[in-house]
Amino acid sequence: MTILYNLFVLIFSLLLTCIFLFFFRVVLIKTGLIYFVKNKWRSIEDWFHVYQFFKVPEFNESMQRNQFYHKVLVYLNSLTSIEDSDFTNLFAGKNPNEIVLHLDPNQIIEDDFLGAKIFWINEEKILVLKIRKADKRRVLRPYLQHIHTVSDEFDEKNRELKLYVNVVDNHDDRKGRWRSVPFTHPSSFENLAMESDLKNKVKSDLYSFVKAKQYYHRLGRVWKRSYLLYGPSGTGKSSFIAAMANFLSYDVYDIDLSKVSNDSDLKSLLLQSTAKSLIVIEDLDRYLTDKSTAVSLSGILNFMDGILTSSCGEERVMVFTMNSKDHVDPAILRPGRIDVHLHFPLCNFTSFKTLANSYLGLKDHKLFPQVEEIFRNGASLSPAEISELMIANRNSPSRALKTVINALQTDGDGRGALNIGRRSVEENGEPSGSFYKEGINAVKEFKKLYGLLRVKSCKQSQSLDLISRQNEG
């Protein structure tokens, strides 16, 4: 009897305890006291564990960007536990209605890996990993490997391109020399008016460069490729750079040479750039001829050779733009320094038709023969000028075409005939001087690039580098 009674009391008290615990938990959760209890419990636990700390700084001692810092940041931002931390930053994502979470300074993130608890503390420019000493030997290496894998996958899927610009050296090494904004330029090769053959060649050149890591390493060469885009203003050079960045999914580092204080400053800018990036110097001819930069010619040559990037060993594409390469030191243009020369000419009838199609939705029009005739007589405007006229008159295609015809007849007279490539040949009568040499070099490059077996005599050719023949239309 007593046994039965005792059993009953035991079951009853167990039931009561369960009910009590259940309600206690409900109260803790509903009132938010659970977080207070968890925090207290964690501090009590901390008394019984010895922790080890590992710092991941953003820059190393020589102010090179620490690639692992970026990986950890990507990894942490991808964790669901970022939502559970006390506070975090919310940003609009790439897709409409998408919100993404980003770590805040001083935020602590908790992570679980192979049964071990790991904490990350986001101090300014340093991420600190906190792990129990007892777990370290078992967990640390596979955990770091796990970070690499996850962040690479995440990067591949969600890569948001960035545009970096250099700021004037304020001697504050902690912040580095680059400032970034999201790179959202919509330009693509598809919406640029230029020969489709040329676009395809550039795309396949970029593609084979990206795949050629082992090849470059075997040859002992820096894994970089340099492009020169040259041509008059408003012919699409900057838009082309944006299209390259979007095609490759590379960040853009736009170097303003007027803000570079000397050769070593240029070196440090290069060292602080990351892999998979386009390094851009626009209007290089202007800086060289005006001497409006504190960087010397040899500083620029070393930079172009990418001697410094060899220490980083990762792929970079360098892009230089010029209005004309007529007065530029040939040392700058030699193969190896510039691998691919791309000419951006003024508009011809073919590119005009591409613009009319994209801006006005016109595949054909009764005024087209008249436009063609004007182009044939040598008049031309830049694609920028023509596209502006089309945008302004986009509600009436006929009016747009008449405005373009009018502008070509007044502003554009003869400008087409002054195309840089033609002038070099036509004015001199025969190819000579730097254009001729450039031509030979470019042919060699062209053969290397695209495996052309036969190339016609240099004398016949006006477009020995990758010159678009748009103006010949």
Ligand X SMILES: Nc1ncnc2c1ncn2[C@@H]1O[C@H](COP(=O)(O)OP(=O)(O)OP(=O)(O)O)[C@@H](O)[C@H]1O
CB-wise, 74 or 317, nearer to ligand X? Answer: 317
Interface residue with Mg ion among 85, 166, 226, 238 (CB under 5 A) is 238
Count H helices and E strands in the chain, helices first: 18, 14
Q: For residue 121, give the DSSP letter.
A: E
Measured from the CB atom, the residue of 350 and 387 that comes closer to ligand X is 387
447's CB contacts (< 8 A; 6+ apart) are 453, 455
Q: Three-state SS for 252?
A: strand
Nearer to ligand X (CB atom), residue 78 or residue 358: 358
Contact 381, 411 (CB under 8 A): yes
For 270: left if phi > 0, alpha if psi spans -120 to 50, otherwise beta; the answer is: alpha
Q: Which is nearer to ligand X, 223 or 352 (CB)?
A: 352
Q: CA 313, CA 307: separation in Å to the nearest integer? A: 10
The kind and range of the H/E element at 205 are helix 196-210
With CB cut-offs between 5 and 8 Å by kind, which of Mg ion, ligand X, none does residue 393 bind? none
Q: Which does 161 bind (CB under 5 to 8 A by kind): ligand X, Mg ion, none?
A: none
CA-CA-CA-CA torsion for 32, 36, 38, 41, nearest 10 degrees?
A: -160
Please say which residue, 90 or 181, places its beta carbon nearer to ligand X: 181
Q: Which is nearer to ligand X, 169 or 472 (CB)?
A: 472
- Residue 187 within binding range of Mg ion, rule CB under 5 A: no
**Residue 239 CB, nearest distance to Mg ion (Å)?**
8
CB of 413 to ligand X, least distance (A): 20
- For tokens 């040899």, name the residue: 298
Q: Is 380 in the site for Mg ion (CB under 5 A)?
A: no
Residue 348 Cβ vs ligand X, minimum distance, rounded to whole Å: 11
Piece of the chain touching Mg ion by CB under 5 A; list 136-144, 237-245, 377-385, 393-401: 237-245
- Compute the least distance from the CB of residue 64 to ligand X, in Å: 31
DSSP annotation of 32? T
| Count of other CB atoms within 10 angstroms of residue 365 | 16
Comparing C-alpha atoms, which of 470, 360, 469 is closest to residue 404?
A: 360
* Residue with Cβ nearer ligand X (323 or 377): 323
Q: Are 128 and 150 in contact (CB under 8 A)?
A: no
Q: Which is nearer to ligand X, 88 or 289 (CB)?
A: 289
The least distance separating Mg ion from the CB of residue 237, rounded to whole angstroms, comes to 5
Which of ligand X, Mg ion, none does 431 bind, CB closer than 5 to 8 A by kind? Answer: none
Distance CA 354, CA 366 (A): 16
340 close to 466: Cβ distance less than 8 angstroms: yes
- The CA distance from 306 to 224, in Å, is 7
- Residue 85 found at the interface with Mg ion (CB under 5 A): no
Partner whose binding site includes residue 116, from Mg ion, ligand X, none (CB under 5 to 8 Å by kind): none
Q: How far is the CB of 282 from Mg ion (least distance, A)?
A: 6
Residues contributing to the site for ligand X (CB under 6 A):
192-194, 233-239, 323, 344, 383-384, 387
Residue 352's binding partner out of Mg ion, ligand X, none, with CB under 5 to 8 Å set by partner kind? none
Residue 382 contacts Mg ion per CB under 5 A: no
Residues that bind Mg ion (CB under 5 A): 237-238
